[in-house]
Every structure is written in structure tokens, then in C-alpha cells.
């Protein structure tokens, strides 16, 4: 479920935060990073609520006084949290709340490996959301796509469309 996580994390954060300056690359990285636990016979730490909280605390401490670096790296814990939501990892309470209910990590297969039909359906939804995002954020334009790929940002003119703007204060 690669595209499911990438596309939905990107779109959800772009629509909710409505920030052209957030680094969406780190959001997307965070949203697929827990899948790497399959190499370590996971699931483990990245499938818990503790991991994004620790990463968030680290980002806040390490980037104190450096606003631009903080803006770039805040996407990582946001992506990790979105992974937990989009995967339904929170349904496995023993793993999700580790170590609250004990230090033994829950074992078993990773939550994202579901029946093949579900996997294919979610990937197709992810691809459809990605196609919608290309249109919505004007990513068919080379300059806008370059901005996203090289700096992780969206073109400011593409943000907040379809939503009424706040009136300017006089």
C-alpha cells in the first residue's frame, strides 16, 4: 500500500494545514517509513504512538531557534501519525499503545498487509487521489512539480482554492 500512504498523506496535510511552505516530502517519507519494519520481522516501534511522539519531541528540541529547519522536519512526525491513521494500526491496541500495556512488543504480520483485494483497492484509491492532487495543486506544470520535488513546497497560488478567504483587516 505504497501509493495509499503517499498520496493520502500528501493531500490530507495539504488540505488541512493549507501551508505552501511545509515540506511535503518529509510528510510522505514519514507516511511510508513504518513499512520498513517488514525487513526486521516487524511490526514494532514505528507502529506505536510512541514513535511519532519521540520524533516530534526530537524535532522540536533539535530545531529550537531554527524556524525553517523546524518547518521542514515537522513533516516527519506528521507523516508517522498519518501512517497510523491510514493503516488502522490504532486498532491493534497492544502494539499501538506500546509500552503502556507492557514492554513485550505485539507480534504478527504488519497491519498494512491485508487481503490482496483490499490491498489492490487501496492502491487504486491512492493512485486516484494522486491523480486528483496533480490537478488540484497544478503539478502537471513543470515549475510547480520541480518546486515540490526539490524543495518539498507547493505553489502558494494553488493553496486555499475553493475556500473563502478571510477578510483583510484595515
Task: Give the lowest-confidence range in 8-12, 48-52, 60-64, 159-163.
Answer: 159-163
Structure pTM? 0.83
Task: Give the lowest-confidence range in 29-43, 59-73, 117-131.
Answer: 29-43
Contact 105, 57 (CB under 8 A): no
Maximum C-alpha span of the chain: 60
d(CA 125, CA 11): 12
**Burial of 169 (C-beta count, 10 Å sphere; 0-12/13-18/19+):** exposed
Q: Is 99 helix (H, G, I), strand (E, B) or coil?
A: coil
Amino acid at each position: 500500500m505504497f501509493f495509499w500512504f503517499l498520496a493520502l498523506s500528501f493531500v490530507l496535510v495539504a488540505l488541512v494545514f493549507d501551508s505552501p511552505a511545509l515540506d511535503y516530502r518529509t510528510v510522505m517519507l514519514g507516511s511510508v517509513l513504518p513499512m520498513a519494519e517488514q525487513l526486521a520481522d516487524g511490526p514494532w516501534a514505528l507502529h506505536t504512538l510512541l514513535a511519532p511522539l519521540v520524533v516530534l519531541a526530537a524535532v522540536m528540541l533539535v530545531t529550537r531557534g531554527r524556524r525553517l529547519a523546524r518547518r521542514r522536519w515537522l513533516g516527519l512526525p506528521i507523516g508517522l501519525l498519518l501512517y497510523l491513521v491510514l493503516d488502522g494500526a490504532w486498532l491493534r491496541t497492544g502494539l499501538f499503545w506500546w509500552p503502556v500495556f507492557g514492554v513485550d512488543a505485539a507480534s504478527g504480520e504488519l497491519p498494512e498487509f491485508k487481503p490482496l483485494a483490499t490491498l489492490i483497492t487501496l492502491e487504486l484509491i491512492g493512485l486516484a487521489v494522486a491523480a486528483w492532487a496533480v490537478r488540484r495543486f497544478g503539478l502537471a506544470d513543470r515549475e510547480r512539480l520541480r518546486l515540490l520535488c526539490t524543495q518539498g513546497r507547493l505553489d502558494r497560488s494553488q493553496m486555499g482554492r475553493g475556500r473563502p478567504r478571510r477578510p483583510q483587516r484595515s
